[in-house]
Structure 1
Amino acid sequence: MSERDDLAERFEEQRGQLRALAYRMLGSPGEAEDAVQDAWLRLSRIDSQQVDNLAGWLRTVVTRICLDLLRSRRSRQEDPTEQQKLDEISATARGTQPEEEAELADSVSNALLVVLNTLNPAERIAFVLHDMFAVPFDQIAPIVERTPVTTKKLASRARQKVQGTPLVPAPALAQHRRIVSAFLSAARAGDLTGILAVLAPDVVRRADPAALSPGAAVEVRGARAVAEGTLVLARRSQLAELALVNGAVGVVVAPGGRLVLAVTFVIENNEIMEYDVIADPTRLGQLDLAVLSLDDGQ
């Protein structure tokens, strides 16, 4: 085996881990793959014999590539029209994306990607490397050009944003989670009885016009009418995930980590009294979102 073949084999052993790392930093399977490929090109141009820790070297290189991309995103002004076109292309491509890209996209919740997108580049790098890949702060610090102490603070600040702060005690949070989860499961299954089971008789559903079919009512009252209206939107519920929305259990729809819809709930006496479907970009931008972890309220 030639030296280059040996190097390529050693690189392939690291590829899966590098792609997972880059995806969490960038939120895009395609960009993650590009970052990993860029790292291979850089590796192939140096004397690999001088690299004592290949895994560590590759991780650092991929992280620096991702950091540059994240900084570039923040420094340029996105054209909404252009972004909308890109989203449409992405939505079309998702149905035919390679299996490995689909698996990568499924490895992280879209709700988490939405929250990660709210972090500044240094926070995201510090959080992903330390909290998700257990990299020590003294190894992260040179990458983000901070001291280890400051890097630890970056990760801590990011962690607080990701986890959020529930506005209700843990037992109430757990109960609200069960109710919203039952509502979402019933909506996905087209189960009218299941939806009715968690709605108050005089429940109110409000929705931004952008979330509705043409001519649909912005406000609907009464359990039967609300439940039947929920079934009309059942297709979107397939992409929905639980999240902490403004400190309470809610739902987000965020394909590829781009938030397009959120649902907030008012729950009293173990019933949904109100829910609000938010699709207006301005309102979406004002939401405080966090990840509802598996052990929240358990």
Structure 2
Amino acid sequence: MKKDLLSVQDLGPQEIFELINLAEDIKVNPDKYQDALKGKSIGLIFQKPSTRTRVSFEIGMFQMGGHSIYLGSSEIGMGGRESVKDVACVLSRYLNGIVARTYKHEVVEELAKYSAIPIINGLSDVAHPCQALGDMFTIEEKFGTLERITISYIGDGNNVLNSLMCLASKLGINMKVATPKNYSPDKDMVKLAKSFAAKSGSKLDFSNDPKWAAKDSDVLYTDVWVSMGQEKEAARRIREFKSFQLNDKLVKLAKKTHAVMHCLPAHRGQEISDSVMDSRHSIVYAQAENRMHIQKAILLKLLK
């Protein structure tokens, strides 16, 4: 029976740790996996353009002996020129898996419903599971453990936060979230994450105060204030998020051993200052690299 990765909710704690351990082995011993996906092919259906997601999946498949084909909006016209159902059914006859990067999460769900092959969510408006999994791998790599770690997310209550807080709560990791008043995460996602936290024993707290979030934190995490498709709201968002910038003053409230994370692309001078982005505490580029390693682990688990 095929398995999809539409959100981190699709994975249990043991599966998550297995993926992280596999990603670590892939990173340390790449030659061991150079033919692991020989003869396998994936399609990259991207309604939204990307740098890291596209390159990391394409190179990841290549390094494991597989093949990928990019299908942008102009090539496929999914949901317009051709229905999502027909695309899913036809590509299931050609490929071994599909990575979908879409505006609407419902499109990813519909692909999964009708395809006979695994569907991986490369980003939707609701979730970014590959990012969150790569982030946890990066945090463990940095600190040597995920135990007794506090992650502070400061910024917009978006898809990245949805996946990050659900994953942290599943794994028993404490998390503090600070967003402006009108930009809190989705209530249903908060309820879900809190249910995971109740089971794992972790803490998940929310505030509109970035200083509260940053204080004594191990990880300071931010994302763009203006996401793709929100350009018309840019001026208002930048104004209302102004006090939520990760800058030298704010990060001083965190532990001396803190790490700074950003899922990229970054708008330097907005959500994060140049000095913080380029500081010795920043693990942003390691975070970007580890996306590839965790995605290779995901591909191995789903396509083998």
Q: TM-score, normalised by structure 1?
A: 0.28
Structure with more of its chain in helix, by fraction: 1
The one of the two structures with greater contact order (alpha-carbon pairs below 8 A, sep at least 6) is 2
Decide which structure has the larger Cα Rg and report it: 1
Q: TM-score, normalised by structure 2?
A: 0.27
